[in-house]
């Protein structure tokens, strides 16, 4: 088994401009006229023994030039404080989560896994996977969510579900952002193929939706024109259909074979049965369409016509006379003509009129695969929201909870107009049939109405969801009561929830803190952090409170506690804000640039000022770096393992070279390392779009495939890129992909690829990564001296993470003291690197190990190894209850596969088979193919069966 160290694939740089126009100065003057409550006025500052240096407009705009000084002195007498004061405690209240949030998450995923395995209906199983998706949204892991959607698509039977799920999967990959890629393009997999989605068939265990698609680019119906064969017409009994003055000669048995009604008409007891000529003038079919019917009766094909209206006439004729085969052929033909939104809106009307479900499905597919753009079209929105249109779609089987779940998901994620989103959520509520669907729809509608300050209506929605058993909806109920001045009722409700819950969640105490004051509030926030350290509000509240009390440095340290392991825009904004108070503009600009990397259009000061504009202002107060300076700074930040600092420098470098794809690529790699996957994918797509050469574009496409789970496609892109030009990135991509054992476990080929990569031109940062990965492969092969050489060479070019690999080599050589010292060097160089403490614990005795692991947990509570280690130690000491509790403490806020597996094993050893099975099922819900858990699950099932029989 080969492995490559999980350093991800990346790098960074920086610069900015400084506008001083009169227009900007006037705009700043407007900002100074507004002061939010909590601002530190000059008088108050002077009273403090430790002065707080607030950001002044004068200090922002001051410049060495005389003209700039003249402009800025106009503000000397203005209020000397931050443009929008200090952060407002009321405006940092935690938002209400939109997803289903079960009190016992492990129970919920265990149950859904059990129901899926016990279900034998494919359509029902597809619905269960959608429910699994809704539950797993609480984790926010894109890969888990995508797998649930893929499984739902795999078991989907009807065309409607296939169309919606295929479009949803495509939306999650956002191929519309790739230049030159059409919304209707097939990626080569049945899973997302638009044509495969229109085929109605059952689940086939021998054929997977992950198989390569045989889809071809030509239209669905390539029909050769079939001419009338007079000899055939004469050979059989004929009948003439008269339309006006035109006569269409047809083969009677062929026409009769189209449907039972036509057969009865031509061979039944009707008067027409004995006639050689039948008047069809009043039927409503054109002459051209009737000729098409005649040709289809003989050839079973729809020929190409000058106008689609002819086939629409044939479709109408098919509907009137129940010609199912011809109707299906007409639908296929017309479906191939639908290529854009305008076509879809036209044809969907005809499809609904003629009950042409397949045609409607193809139109619906075009609209869904063009999301989010199509929802900006008022006609499309009306189609999905108006009762009349919904009724028409329902008649042809194209209204479902699945459809509106997808639409509302897009509307919410794209932050569409609230009124439009409310309409879609109302439709979602109407489509909900099952309990979980109604709960989700009501809760999400309540959240949106709450954000729109429609508290009474929101309260009603939350109440419905709460009464259906969704305890988390009580947060919405309490919040709406609070906003209506019923603080005591809100607190009483949360008190009841906490008292009724055997094991309260962190969010319960966080919510109650909103309705408490003083020491009780602080106590609730501490309880919330203890139970769930990933909740950001407690850190933010404590930090802002410290700033108000003039303890700025302490506030920065408090907000650092969560930024160290969970980077988010709101926390970065607060830290930048605090640095502005200290007039540490360099640090403030760093955080704002990092923030912009996550969200390019973010608005600071509670949504009142654009970040990029603020960077331009502050750039006049910080040292400006040349591109060469940026590279030096990047090396420095890289060697300190300061990913946020590196990200900020990359953002500044992009100001020098906005069209350079390599910078976007490195930005994406840093964002991946910071676990900001959505932002990382956006940067990677931009890198692909900005690439100027084919070989470079192929590499970025390969990484897109790799990150979305398509390893073989990624490998193909890498090989194609290498065939065009040998480059570091192409070789590195191929090596990284091959290192995945599911593709190729051959270590020799990976080694050769990395060696080839190192021979190609690249910078030291990237080569350090390759050397580190090559060292990992050598270690796995037992070539410790070669591995040590790689790590030492990586350290020579400031790839500090190589200390970890070198320590591993020393350890494998039984030089534990050297390994410990090597990790100590990494700890000294790295900025609060929790993983360094975690790894060092492997090279010392138990007491020192426990100390390092406690430090790792303090720096990053999301790291699961420390909990597992401490639990194993407790089990060795036969403290089974304490061992289980140690794991349970972490599982409460991070239900991770390895911890669930370990706790299940603990329960098995304690003969508590029911809980062991529950944890196994929960773990398998996260990864149904995890070999060790499957073995434990099967073994425990047998033991439980023996116990109960």
Residues 169-181: tens digit of each pLDDT: 999 887 767 777 7
Task: Kindly tell me if the per-residue pLDDT of 68 is higher than 60.
Answer: no
Over residues 178-199, the pLDDT tens digits come to 777 777 777 777 888 888 888 8
pLDDT for the residue 741: 59
**Phi then psi dihedrals of residue 212, to 5 deg:** -65, 140
For residue 290, give the nearest of 250, 327, 322, 254 by alpha carbon: 250
What distance in Å separates the CA atoms of residue 198 and residue 352, rounded to the nearest whole number?
17
Ranges 62-76, 431-445, 654-668, 826-840, most confident: 431-445
Residues 6+ apart with CB under 8 A from 199: 159, 162
pLDDT in tens, 633-683: 998 898 889 999 999 999 999 988 888 999 999 999 999 999 999 899 999
Q: What is the pLDDT of residue 276?
A: 85
Q: Which residue has the higher pLDDT, 208 or 17?
A: 208
C-beta neighbour count of 810 within 10 angstroms = 21
Cα–Cα distance measured from residue 928 to residue 697, given in angstroms and rounded to the nearest whole number: 34
Q: Locate 51 and state its tokens.
A: 């002065």
pLDDT bracket for residue 55 (50, 70, 90): very low
Question: For residues 626 and 623, what is the distance between their CA atoms, to the nearest angstrom?
Answer: 10
Per-residue pLDDT at 54? 40
Q: What angle do CA 924, 704, 138 make, to 5 degrees?
A: 40
Residue 745: band (very low, low, confident or very high) from pLDDT cuts 50, 70, 90: low
In angstroms, the CA 2 to CA 738 distance is 9
Please check the confidence at residue 625 and state whether its pLDDT lies above 70: yes
Task: Output the pLDDT for position 235.
Answer: 55
* Residue 61 pLDDT exceeds 60: no
Quick check: 905 and 933 in contact, CB under 8 A? no
Per-residue pLDDT, 211: 73
The reported pTM is 0.87
Q: Are 828 and 853 in contact (CB under 8 A)?
A: no
Residue 229 confidence (pLDDT) above 70:
no
Partners of 239 in beta bridges: 250
How many residues would you count in the chain? 949
Higher pLDDT, 314 or 188: 314
Q: β-strand 246-251 against 238-243: which pairing, if any?
A: antiparallel
Task: For 639-650, write each residue's pLDDT tens digit.
Answer: 889 999 999 999
274-295 mean pLDDT = 89
Does the structure show a pLDDT above 70 at 64? Answer: no
Measure the CA–CA gap between 463 and 460, rounded to whole angstroms: 5
**What does residue 550 show for φ and ψ, rounded to 5 degrees?**
75, 20
Tell me the mean pLDDT in the region 146-153.
95
Cα-based angle 77, 82, 85 (whole degrees, multiple of 5): 120
Q: Contact 858/564 with Cβ under 8 angstroms?
A: no
User: All domains of the chain, ordered by start, with CATH?
Assistant: 238-337 (3.30.710.10), 535-624 (1.25.40.10), 625-690 (1.25.40.10), 868-948 (1.25.40.10)
As a whole-number percent, the residues of the chain with pLDDT over 90 amount to 70
Please, are residues 904 and 916 in contact by the beta-carbon 8 Å criterion? yes
Position 30 scores a pLDDT of 43
The confidence score (pLDDT) of residue 205 equals 60
- Nearest-angstrom CA–CA distance, 57 and 585: 13
Residues 473-504 have pLDDT tens digits of 999 999 999 999 999 999 999 999 999 998 99
Most confident of 261-270, 734-743, 764-773: 764-773
Residue 84 pLDDT grade (very low, low, confident, very high; cuts 50, 70, 90): confident
Q: How far apart are CA 237 and CA 157, in angstroms?
A: 42
pLDDT value for 564:
94
Handedness of CA 194, 198, 204, 205 (dihedral sign): positive
Summarize pLDDT for 568-618 with one digit per residue, the tens: 999 999 999 999 999 999 999 999 999 999 999 999 998 899 999 999 989
3-state percent breakdown (helix, strand, coil) of the chain, nearest 5:
65, 0, 30
Paired strand residues for 116: none
Q: What is the mean pLDDT of the segment spanning 225-233?
A: 46
pLDDT in tens, 414-462: 989 999 999 999 999 999 999 999 999 999 999 999 999 999 999 999 9
**Quick one: pLDDT at residue 316?**
92
Angle, helix 643-656 to helix 627-639, in steps of 10 degrees: 170
């Amino acid at each position: 088994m080969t492995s490559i160290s999980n350093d991800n694939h990346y790098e960074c740089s920086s610069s900015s401009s400084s506008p001083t126009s009169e227009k900007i100065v006037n705009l700043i003057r407007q900002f100074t006229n507004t002061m939010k409550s909590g601002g530190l006025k000059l008088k108050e500052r002077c009273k403090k023994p430790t002065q707080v240096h607030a950001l002044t407009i004068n200090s922002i705009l001051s410049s060495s030039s005389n003209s700039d000084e003249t402009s800025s002195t106009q503000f000397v007498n203005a209020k000397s404080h931050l443009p929008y004061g200090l952060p407002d405690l009321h405006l940092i209240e935690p938002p209400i989560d939109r997803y289903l949030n079960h009190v016992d998450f492990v129970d919920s995923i265990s149950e859904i896994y059990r129901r899926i395995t016990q279900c034998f209906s494919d359509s029902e199983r597809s619905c269960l996977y959608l429910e699994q998706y809704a539950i797993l949204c609480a984790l926010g892991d894109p890969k888990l969510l995508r797998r649930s959607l893929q499984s739902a698509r795999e078991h989907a039977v009807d065309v409607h579900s296939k169309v919606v799920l295929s479009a949803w999967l495509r939306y999650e990959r956002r191929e519309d952002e790739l230049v030159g890629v059409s919304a209707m393009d097939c990626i080569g997999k049945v899973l997302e193929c638009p044509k495969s989605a229109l085929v109605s068939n059952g689940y086939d265990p021998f054929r997977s939706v992950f198989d390569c698609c045989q889809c071809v680019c030509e239209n669905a119906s390539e029909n050769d024109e079939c001419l009338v064969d007079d000899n055939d017409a004469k050979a059989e009994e004929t009948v003439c259909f008269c339309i006006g003055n035109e006569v269409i000669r047809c083969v009677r048995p062929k026409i009769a074979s189209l449907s039972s009604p036509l057969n009865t008409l031509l061979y039944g007891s009707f008067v027409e049965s004995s006639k050689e000529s039948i008047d069809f003038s009043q039927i409503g079919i054109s002459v051209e369409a009737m000729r098409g019917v005649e040709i289809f009766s003989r050839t079973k094909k729809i020929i190409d016509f000058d106008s689609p209206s002819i086939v629409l006439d044939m479709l109408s004729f098919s509907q009137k006379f129940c010609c199912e085969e011809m109707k299906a052929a007409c639908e296929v033909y017309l479906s191939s003509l639908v290529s854009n939104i305008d076509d879809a809106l036209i044809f969907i009307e005809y499809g609904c009129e003629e009950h042409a479900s397949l045609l409607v499905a193809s139109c619906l597919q075009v609209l869904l695969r063009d999301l989010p753009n199509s929802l900006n079209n008022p006609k499309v929105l009306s189609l999905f929201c108006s009762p009349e249109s919904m009724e028409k779609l329902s008649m042809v089987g194209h209204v479902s909870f699945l459809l509106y779940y997808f639409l509302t998901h897009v509307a919410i994620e794209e932050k569409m107009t609230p009124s439009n989103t409310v309409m879609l959520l109302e439709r979602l509520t109407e489509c909900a049939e099952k309990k979980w669907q109604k709960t989700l729809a009501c809760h999400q509608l309540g959240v949106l109405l709450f954000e729109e300050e429609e508290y009474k209506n929101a309260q009603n929605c939350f109440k419905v969801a709460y009464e259906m058993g969704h305890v988390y909806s009580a947060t919405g109920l309490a919040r709406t009561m609070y906003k209506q001045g019923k603080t005591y009722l809100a607190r009483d409700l949360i008190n009841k929830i906490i008292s009724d819950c055997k094991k309260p969640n962190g969010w319960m105490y966080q919510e109650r803190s909103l309705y408490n004051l003083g020491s009780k509030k602080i106590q609730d926030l501490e309880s919330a952090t203890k139970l769930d350290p990933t909740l950001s509000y407690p850190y933010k509240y404590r930090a802002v409170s410290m700033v108000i009390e003039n303890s700025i440095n302490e506030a920065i340290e408090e907000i650092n506690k969560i930024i160290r392991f969970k980077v988010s825009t709101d926390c970065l904004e607060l830290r930048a804000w605090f640095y502005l108070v200290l007039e540490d503009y360099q640090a403030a600009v760093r955080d704002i640039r990092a923030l912009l990397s996550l969200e390019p259009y973010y608005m600071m000061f509670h949504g009142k000022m654009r970040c990029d504009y603020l960077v331009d202002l502050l750039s006049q107060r910080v040292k400006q770096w040349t591109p060469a300076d940026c590279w030096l700074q990047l090396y420095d930040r890289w060697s300190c393992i300061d990913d946020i600092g590196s990200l900020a420098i990359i953002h500044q470098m992009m100001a020098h070279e906005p069209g350079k794809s390599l910078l976007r690529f490195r930005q994406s790699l840093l964002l991946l390392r910071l676990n900001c996957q959505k932002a990382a994918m956006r940067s990677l797509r931009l890198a692909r779009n900005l690439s100027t050469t084919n070989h470079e574009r192929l590499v970025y496409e390969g990484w897109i495939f790799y990150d979305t789970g398509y390893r073989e496609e990624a490998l193909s892109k890498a090989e194609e890129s290498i065939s065009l030009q040998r480059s570091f990135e192409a070789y590195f991509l191929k090596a990284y992909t091959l290192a995945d054992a599911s593709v190729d476990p051959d270590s020799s080929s990976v080694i050769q690829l990395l060696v080839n990569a190192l021979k190609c031109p690249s910078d030291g940062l990237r080569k350090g990564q390759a050397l580190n990965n090559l060292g990992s492969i050598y270690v796995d092969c037992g070539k410790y001296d070669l591995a040590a050489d790689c790590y030492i060479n990586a350290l020579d070019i400031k790839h500090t993470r190589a200390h970890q690999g070198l320590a591993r080599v020393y350890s494998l050589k039984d030089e534990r003291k050297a390994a410990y010292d090597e990790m100590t060097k990494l700890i000294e160089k790295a900025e609060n690197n929790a993983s360094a403490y975690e790894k060092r614990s492997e090279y010392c005795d138990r007491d020192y190990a426990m100390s390092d692991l406690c430090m790792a947990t303090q720096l990053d509570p999301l790291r699961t190894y420390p909990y597992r280690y401490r639990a194993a130690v407790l089990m060795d000491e036969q403290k089974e209850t304490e061992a289980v509790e140690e794991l349970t403490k972490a599982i409460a806020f991070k239900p991770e596969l390895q911890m669930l597996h370990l706790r299940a094993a603990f329960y098995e050893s304690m003969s508590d088979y029911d809980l062991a099975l529950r944890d196994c099922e929960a773990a398998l819900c996260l990864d149904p193919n995890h070999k060790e858990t499957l073995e434990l699950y099967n073994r425990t099932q047998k033991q439980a069966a023996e116990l109960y029989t």
